[in-house]
Amino acid sequence: MKALWIVSFRPMGESKINDLFQSMFVDSVKSLDFNITFSLTQFDDLNVKEFVDRKKIKNIYTNVTKDSLPEKKKYSNKLMIDNALEQYIDGDDFEYLVYSNADIIVPNNLFYELSRIKLENFCAFIYPNTHVKNGNIKNTIWPHYGIDLIIFKISKNKAVKFKELIKTYNAYDWGLQENFYMAASEALNLERINLFKKTKVIKFENDFSAFSEDRSTQIKAWKENCDYFLKFLKANNLSKLYANGSYYYLLYKIFRFRDLNLSLILSYIIFYPYNLFKKILNIFKKI
């Protein structure tokens, strides 16, 4: 059995902190007792090919030149998933299609827990992350935004349907990736399973000062991707709330009683009152 792992690395050599996080991520994946191939779609990212070769990871490497993207865009999430699905379909015996960011540590019992799920097709994930900032764990139950590890166990027929679905999808740069993958799992009629009570993902906060990226550029990218995403949702008869409902809708859609433990219950209890109160407070501040 094999897994195809979708990830794209940030440029290497621009931040020692980010380089360390990406190296730790690769090491955590390499330590898994499973046959894994990385599906790497890069966009002229500095020193990444050398990093991949040095780490000696099994990979299918595709470079897309930045001048083939729309002006001022850095990367295309549509191209990443499109390339990966083609590789998955053409591959001999891939069983899992994994999506993640490269700033996490993957739990070493991941595939053991996946093997215990007795379904032919499903979508598994881990929420919330265990967030680490400046070397300190902020909170193991705080419901931070972000689902940074999503695993599809799908047949080739499902993968072909997935590839057909994304003909109406597009996305560049930051934002809405987990919303897209969760919406796609619904379109594929997959059971969604939160592995939080079985295992944990450690998520590092990147050194954003090393990139021309801040909160304002993220918001701009999010709004542009939201327009693309709404077209995808409409084309596939999915609720617009996947885009407009933010995490309020997303966490509702992934909620399952069977996935709960005390920590996850606390995460939900914290998320809705805290964020709704903060949103209302911000509205009053603008008045």
For the chain, which residues make up each domain, given as ranges? 2-286
159/137 Cα distance (integer angstroms)? 37
* Domain at 2-286, CATH homologous superfamily: Spore Coat Polysaccharide Biosynthesis Protein SpsA; Chain A (3.90.550.10)
Per-residue tokens: 6: 């979708």
CB 172 within 8 A of CB 225: yes
- Here the tokens at position 147 are 């689902």
Sequence-distant (6+) residues with CB within 8 A of 48 are 9, 11, 12, 40, 42
How many CA atoms within 13 Å lie on the side-chain side of 58?
10
C-alpha to C-alpha distance for 196 and 143, rounded to whole angstroms: 12
Q: What is the rounded distance in angstroms from the CA atom of residue 243 to the CA atom of residue 274?
A: 21
Q: What is the chain's pLDDT, residue by residue, as a tens digit (287 residues)?
A: 899 999 999 999 988 999 999 999 999 999 999 999 999 999 999 999 999 999 999 999 999 999 999 988 999 999 999 999 999 999 878 999 999 999 999 999 999 999 999 999 999 999 998 878 766 676 667 777 789 999 999 999 999 999 999 999 999 988 789 999 999 999 999 999 999 999 999 998 876 666 666 667 777 887 888 999 999 999 999 999 999 887 889 999 999 999 999 999 999 988 888 877 777 777 777 76
* Helix ranges (DSSP H) in 56-203: 77-90, 110-115, 156-165, 177-187
The SS3 call for residue 204 is strand
**Cα dihedral angle (74, 79, 84, 87), rounded to 10 degrees?**
-120
Per-position DSSP letters for 144-155, written without gaps between them? -S---EEEEE--
Q: What is the pTM of this model?
A: 0.92
